[in-house]
């Protein structure tokens, strides 16, 4: 397959380990569950976003950028990772955050401010309909100041960022050999579509035979199918003209968004608590907690009958968890 491979700027601690969840697997009574610890890509630069940013920030450097502009929720893991990456590379950062400025600095927002980011708060409606225009306007303002801004989309989920998880697939395949295990499927949370698109891209490039399955934590499967096709379309137009994109490449388990993005139900929180106590593995309520809760329910329904090993991608989120500890309080006091 002829293609132009984009350059990568190493920022993450790679490879991240793959570990078995033996007690959890026994509790669930289904396939053996393993976890890819992308929560360990770094301390402050932790989580899945940094894999995408390795490619995006290299492009920013190539354009001699000195300001990174991006967007996300107030507790956005991606915004925090972008801010810290900018600091590491000697750049400024400006994040457009959906919601009201918190009275108390906690979690990812605290780190945004600690690392010196400029923060602009907009309403959910503005975020949904105007976030790109708002970021472009900020970029124009920086240009007038003589600076060189580089705008990064939500989650770094575009054709370039997708290579972060295409690269991860090659890493996983090497670890399969080292561990002597073959994964029947890899499961990831889907919040902007970039990680899922990257895993699918890696599967196509590397010829990996595992199923790639996403569990959406907002919107619905139809929305993310379109989004992943859009991202892969960018890959094809910019880097890989021979890439064949088929809707059947995209597998998304719908039905686990609960009360919506960033909103938790007791069952989801209980899954996080149980896994922490059984395996000392900490998930977050926005992404990995909902995805694991969905995986647990689907195993109970028999969806993965016949599979031997499932790899769960831990995409991070610890700092976001530290911003919503009050949601756990009543459950922990029982």
Contact 31, 96 (CB under 8 A): no
Short-list 163, 168, 149, 14, CA closest to 92: 149
DSSP 260: S
**Tokens 């530290």 sit at which residue?**
322
CB atoms within 10 A of CB 255: 12
Question: Could you confirm whether 76 is annotated as catalytic?
Answer: yes
Helix axis angle for 163-179 and 49-62, nearest 10°, is 130
Q: H or E segment at 70?
A: strand 67-73
Options 76, 157, 264, 315, the catalytic residue:
76
> Assign residue 35 a region: left if phi > 0, alpha if psi is -120 to 50, beta otherwise?
beta
Q: How far is CA 69 from CA 84, 139, 177, in A?
A: 12, 7, 39
**For the packed helices 266-279 and 288-300, what is the interaxial angle rounded to 10 degrees?**
90
Q: Locate 322 and state its tokens.
A: 């530290």
Residues marked as catalytic: 76
């Amino acid at each position: 397959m002829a293609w132009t491979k984009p350059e990568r700027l190493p920022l993450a601690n790679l490879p991240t380990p793959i570990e078995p969840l033996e007690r959890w697997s026994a509790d669930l009574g289904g396939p053996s569950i393993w976890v890819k610890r992308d929560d360990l890509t770094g301390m402050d630069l932790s989580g899945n976003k940094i894999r995408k940013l390795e490619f995006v920030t290299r492009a920013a450097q190539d354009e001699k950028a000195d300001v990174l502009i991006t967007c996300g929720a107030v507790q956005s893991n991606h915004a925090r990772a972008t801010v810290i990456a900018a600091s590491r590379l000697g750049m400024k950062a400006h994040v457009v955050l959906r919601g009201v400025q918190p009275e108390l600095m906690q979690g990812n927002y605290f780190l945004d401010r600690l690392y010196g980011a400029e923060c602009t708060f907009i309403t959910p409606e503005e975020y949904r309909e105007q976030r790109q225009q708002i970021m472009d306007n900020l970029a124009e303002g920086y240009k007038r100041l003589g600076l060189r801004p580089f705008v990064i989309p939500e989650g770094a989920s575009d054709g370039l960022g997708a290579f972060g998880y295409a690269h991860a697939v090659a890493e996983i395949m090497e670890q399969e050999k080292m561990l002597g295990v073959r994964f029947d499927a890899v499961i990831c949370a889907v919040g902007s579509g970039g990680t899922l698109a990257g895993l699918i891209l890696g599967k196509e490039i590397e010829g990996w035979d595992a199923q790639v399955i996403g569990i959406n934590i907002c919107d619905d499967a139809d929305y993310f199918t379109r989004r992943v096709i859009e991202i892969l379309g960018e890959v094809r137009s910019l880097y890989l003209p021979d890439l064949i994109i088929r809707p059947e490449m995209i597998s998304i388990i719908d039905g686990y968004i609960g009360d919506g993005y960033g909103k938790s139900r007791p069952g989801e929180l209980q899954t996080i608590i149980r896994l922490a106590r059984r395996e000392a593995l900490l998930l977050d309520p926005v992404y990995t907690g909902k995805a694991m809760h969905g995986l647990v329910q689907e195993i109970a329904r028999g969806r993965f009958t016949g599979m031997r090993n499932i790899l769960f991608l831990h995409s991070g989120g610890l700092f976001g968890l530290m911003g919503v500890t009050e949601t756990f309080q009543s459950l922990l006091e029982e």
